[in-house]
Every structure is written in structure tokens, then in C-alpha cells.
Amino acid sequence: MDRPRVICHMLMSLDGKIDGRYFALPETRPGFKKYGELRAVYGCPATIYGTTTAAEGYADGTVFVSDLPEKCAEAIGPVYVGESGAENYIIAMDPEGKLKWSGKFVEKKGRPRAHIIEALTERASASYIAYLQSLGVSYIIAGEKQIDCELLLRKLKEHFGIDSVLLAGGGITNWTFAAQGLIDELSIVLVPTADGDSKAASLFETGDLAPAIPKAFALKAVEVIENDTLWLRYILK
């Protein structure tokens, strides 16, 4: 393929949620453990997160006008490589250019240091692009108003040599790739818990995107894990 292989790997409750209060239940813990182990098994050098997930778990929130440089970037190309040859990457889906970073790498407990690649659209301002360049944060402009996921993936392989990516939410980001037929494997660690919170994020969500066209998946494998947890693997039909 001329793009990386995409594995959507998520931990999910029985009511289809990928976050919520059920995380705190002891019955969820075996699933958490298995989820982390499987990340290592898949061995993807890059992980893709949506704007909200990246802001809450990896970035320093969102930028203020005062964070942005007064001078715009002298050269705004479709791709900027701030670090070549990194072993691990975090790719943030950030269409408008909102995320704030403290440097070109992020380090999270239990995870290897990863270089940041921003996935932008043409809506991102020149001052935000200058901000990324000043930090050495890489970026790819892929699309006019919404991110063209296939273009993004091709650029990731072409400019960064990335052959496989882990797609790790949120629900809108997961659906964006599914809707474009770009999930090669769906891996779900299904925990035997639920909390019924209608406001919690689901595995797939359309958000403000165009009305969804339903997608069908074919079951590839099922594995029973301790404490009634399941590992389900699907492929898109």
C-alpha cells in the first residue's frame, strides 16, 4: 500500500462508550491491562488522536492569541518535517490549528517519547503554522476544510516512513477514518461494565460531519480474557 496500515484499537464498555465512570470499576481493570499489552503487540510507531483526546491527554490545552508569534511563517508548505527518523509519533487531528504544545516531543508515563505531527487543514492560520515551526512540531496540511484522511496517510508514509498507525479516538476521528474506508482492522477490548452515560463518547460518532452512511464489519477473531472481558477483531466489509 502507498499508505500506512490503520488499526483502530479501543477499550469499550458494553454500552459502546470509550470513556466514562465505568473506567473506575475493578471489573474494567483486566481490560485496561490487555489494552496496553495489545498496543505493544501491534507495534505501531504512530498513534492518531482527535483534537479533544489530544488536548486532554497530550497537549497543553489550546493556544491563546498571546501564544502565537507576531511574525508569520516565511514558507508555508503542505508538509513541514520538524524531526526526521523519530522512533515514535503522536499525530493530532487538529483541522483549525488549536492545540498548544511545550515542544516537539511529548512524554507520558508508561509510553515512549513521541514526536508530534499536527494534521491540519487550510483553515489553520499562518501564525499557528509559524508557532509550530518555532517549536519544531511537524505538520501536514491535508484538506481544505476537513482532513482528507487518505491524503494524510500517504504523506505520513512518504515524508516520515510510517508503515502502520494506531487509531485511538475519539469517536469522531474513528468514524472519519471508517467513513472513508480507511480502517484495516478494528480491535475492541470489550469490558463487562457500563454506566449508561448518554454524554460519554461512543466508539463511532459523526459530530458535525455530513450524515453518516452506515458501515458493515466482518468478525475476524474473538478471544476471551479474564473476568469476562473480550478481545474482538473486525475488518471493514
Segment 15-21 shows an average pLDDT of 96
Proportion of the chain above pLDDT 70, given as a percent: 98
Cα–Cα distance measured from residue 38 to residue 58, given in angstroms and rounded to the nearest whole number: 20
Residue 76 has pLDDT above 70, yes or no: yes
pLDDT given for residue 74 in this prediction: 66
Given a cut of 70, whether residue 125 has pLDDT beyond it is yes
Phi then psi for 226, rounded to 5 degrees?
-60, 155
Q: Compute the average pLDDT of residues 83-104.
A: 95
pLDDT tens for 214-231 read 999 999 999 999 889 999
What is the structure's pLDDT at 1? 80
Alpha carbon dihedral 123, 127, 133, 135, in 10-degree steps, equals -110
- What pLDDT is stored for residue 226 in this prediction? 85
- ∠ CA 224-172-148, rounded to 5°: 115
Q: What is the mean pLDDT of residues 32-54?
A: 95
Task: Show the 3-state SS of the chain.
Answer: CCCCEEEEEEEECCCCECCCHHHHCHHHHHHHHHHHHHHHHHCCCEEEECHHHHHHHCCCCECCHHHCCCCCCCCCCCEECCCCCCCCEEEEECCCCCECCCCCEECCCCCCCEEEEEEECCCCCHHHHHHHHHHCCEEEECCCCCCCHHHHHHHHHHHHCCCEEEECCCHHHHHHHHHCCCCCEEEEEECCCCCCCCCCCECCCCCCCCCCCCCCEEEEEEEEEHHHEEEEEEEEC
What number is the average pLDDT over the span 33-40?
Answer: 94
In the chain the domains, ranked by start, together with CATH numbers, are 1-43+170-237 (3.40.430.10), 46-162 (no CATH)
d(CA 66, CA 221): 51
CA dist 47 → 69, 171, 185, 195 (Å): 28, 15, 14, 27
Q: What pLDDT score was predicted for residue 85?
A: 87
Residue 66: pLDDT band (50, 70, 90) is confident
Q: Specify the pLDDT at position 73.
A: 65
The predicted model gives 117-139 an average pLDDT of 95
For residue 65, the model assigns a pLDDT of 83
What average pLDDT does the segment 211-215 reach?
A: 83
The answer to whether the CB of 177 falls within 8 A of the CB of 142 is: no
Q: Which three cell numbers stand for residue 122?
A: 487550510
Q: pLDDT tens digits for 181-204?
A: 999 999 999 999 999 999 999 999
